[in-house]
Chains A and B, each alone.
Chain A
Amino acid sequence: MITLRPRRVAAIVLRQAYLLRGSPARLLPLFAWVAIDIVLWGFITKYLNAVASPGVDFVPLLLGAVLLWDFFARVMQGVTMAFFEDVWSRNFLNVFATPITTGEYVSGLVLSSVFTSAIGLAVMVVLATVAFGLSFVGYGLAIVPALLILFLFGIALGILGCAVVLRLGPAAEWLIWPIPAVVSPFVGVFYPISTLPHWMQWASWVLAPTYVFEAMRALASGRAVSWPALGWGALLAVSAIAIAGWVFARVYRYAVRTGLVARYSAETVT
């Protein structure tokens, strides 16, 4: 049985809160980039609505998809950014020489991401609703599992990203930033999975967000959402978290065995 000490988890969250409070440069990206995305895609959907045949509404199709995708990407980056703070400040030795466990440390990263991604989501929802008329009522109850699946999958990829950097070193952070862009063609953010070649579809169906975007497209087109498919997506997302946690724990044990934890404290990002 894994026991998490709330104080140690809170320490990681508090550290992130202090950093955000002390640096507008860290605070601004929480909502600035997502706001820019919503504004850009908001106008694109307005234009497409104006030139498309009547009856087709691109707002829920495209703007809704952008909002959900940005939420997923922010969740993932929330985890990795909190981890990178320890990389950048060469803080591994100080942190891992305390009684904190990897479970508590990762839980702290996840909780930090909950707060930072919630800010981004709130900004996106307000902007998309007020400025471009995106209505979440149309999505119905399906929006709840949709957000949950994206959140869980974002957490999983975030933890995997941390494991990659812990294993390969601080310079590997540049492998982590493009992960959402690499995943996006496979999960059909803007198009049905049937558009993809057969081999890509195989990859799509093992990625949890695929089920979310298929469900959202069904709802936007007036079709019924497949709840079993969403359930399968949730199961995949939970499995992804379990796998990511297992990988991180293994990589941490490797880092302790080989001395990487201590070495990264003396190593710069470059």
Chain B
Amino acid sequence: MPARGLDSARRIEEGAPGGRPLILSVEELRKSYGALAAVDGISFQVAPGEVVGLLGPNGAGKTTTINMILGVLAPTSGSIRIDGLDLARSRCEALQRTNFAAAYAPLPGNLTVSENLRVFGLMYGVRNVGAHVEALLAELDLVRFRDTKTGVLSSGEQTRVSLAKAMLNRPRLLLLDEPTASLDPSVARELRALIRGMAAREGEGVLWTSHNMHEVEEVCQRVLFLSHGRILLEGDPRTLPREHGRATLEDLFIAVAREPLALEHA
């Protein structure tokens, strides 16, 4: 039986203490292009302080899901609530509490690092943006690149700039699409620690996509496996492989990519 659905949802509801709203609540989300369902009625939640991995092969619907949560793609049906706010009705307020970093959305290369951060800081309504940018530059070891054009930085450095942008507004919900893909192992480890610490300390919810299964096991408390726009499996990345007769999370990922139907009906 697929490890998903109401049980998990209830667990997350219980995990949001003091009646605080879930950071992210996605209900029956669907996106169709004609007859093709890119995302096919998925439901999931992210609780305060939780890091959730959104996994799946290319074309599974991860980016479509993220784009809908970011408000740049309208769902065909279903709802998205961010920190208790309906994205469709309160777009500005909901996006004020959200931010993201993705390899496919680099910041403008013709602006310097600090210029980019100041511009996006204003867009997110950050107060005292100058001081805030300086603090982030120091936190992400970017001070020496402050006046460097973003486009001339290495891909790893650009990733760190994107992450600084993603933290500008201290978001309640952070969407990270392969955040460590171009980082060296040492910086990637620091970054994982930073995100984990931030989620635990400030109660942020993080939705993390990655193809690095070791990283997912280290960072995520819970994973969702997407295939053909549907959530096929859901659970703890450290126990989920054994529940489905696989030795590692990577084996399970490969199985999802190659034989999704077998897993769905297992």
Q: Kindly list chain B residues whose C-beta atoms are within 8 Å of the C-beta of A5.
A: 125
Task: Find the B residue at minimum CB distance from A89.
Answer: B108
Known: A14-B122, A100-B123. A262 touches B67 (CB 8 A): yes
The answer to whether B95 has its CB under 8 Å from any CB of chain A is yes
Q: Chain A: interface secondary structure?
A: helix
Q: Which of A16-24, A49-57, A118-126, A143-151 contacts B (4 or more CB under 8 A)?
A: A16-24
Q: Which of B102, B109, B123 has the most CB of A within 10 A?
A: B123
Q: Which of A90-98, A109-117, A160-168, A180-188 contacts B (4 or more CB under 8 A)?
A: A90-98
Q: Kindly list chain B residues whose C-beta atoms are within 8 Å of the C-beta of A235.
A: none
Task: Find the B residue at minimum CB distance from A85.
Answer: B108
How far is it, in angstroms, between the C-alpha of A92 and the C-alpha of B123 when the chains are bound? 13
Known: A22-B110, A94-B107. A11 touches B120 (CB 8 A): yes
Task: Find the A residue at minimum CB distance from B165.
Answer: A94
Say how far B218's CB is from chain A's closest CB, in angstroms: 27
Question: B119–A14 contact, CB under 8 A?
Answer: yes
Task: Find the B residue at minimum CB distance from A257.
Answer: B74
Q: Kindly list chain A residues whose C-beta atoms are within 8 Å of the C-beta of B93.
A: 99
Residues 61 to 103 of chain A near chain B (Cβ within 8 Å): 85, 89-101
How far is it, in angstroms, between the C-alpha of A93 and the C-alpha of B111 when the chains are bound? 17
The answer to whether B254 has its CB under 8 Å from any CB of chain A is no
How far is it, in angstroms, between the C-alpha of A259 and the C-alpha of B68 when the chains are bound? 9
Say how far A218's CB is from chain B's closest CB, in angstroms: 46
Assign chain A's interface to a size class: 20 to 34
Question: A11–B111 contact, CB under 8 A?
Answer: no
Out of A18, A99, A259, which one reaches B124, CB within 8 Å?
A99
Assign chain B's interface to a size class: 35 or more
Out of A91, A96, A253, A259, which one reaches B108, CB within 8 Å?
A91
The answer to whether B247 has its CB under 8 Å from any CB of chain A is no
Known: A8-B122, A8-B125, A23-B110. A98 touches B95 (CB 8 A): yes
The answer to whether A176 has its CB under 8 Å from any CB of chain B is no
The answer to whether B262 has its CB under 8 Å from any CB of chain A is no
The answer to whether B253 has its CB under 8 Å from any CB of chain A is no
A-B contact pairs, 7 of them (CB 8 A): A7-B123, A22-B149, A89-B109, A93-B67, A94-B107, A99-B124, A259-B33
Given A96-B71, A266-B104, 16 other A-B contacts at CB below 8 A? Answer: A11-B119, A14-B119, A14-B122, A15-B119, A23-B110, A85-B110, A89-B110, A91-B107, A91-B108, A94-B108, A95-B123, A97-B72, A97-B95, A97-B100, A98-B120, A259-B64
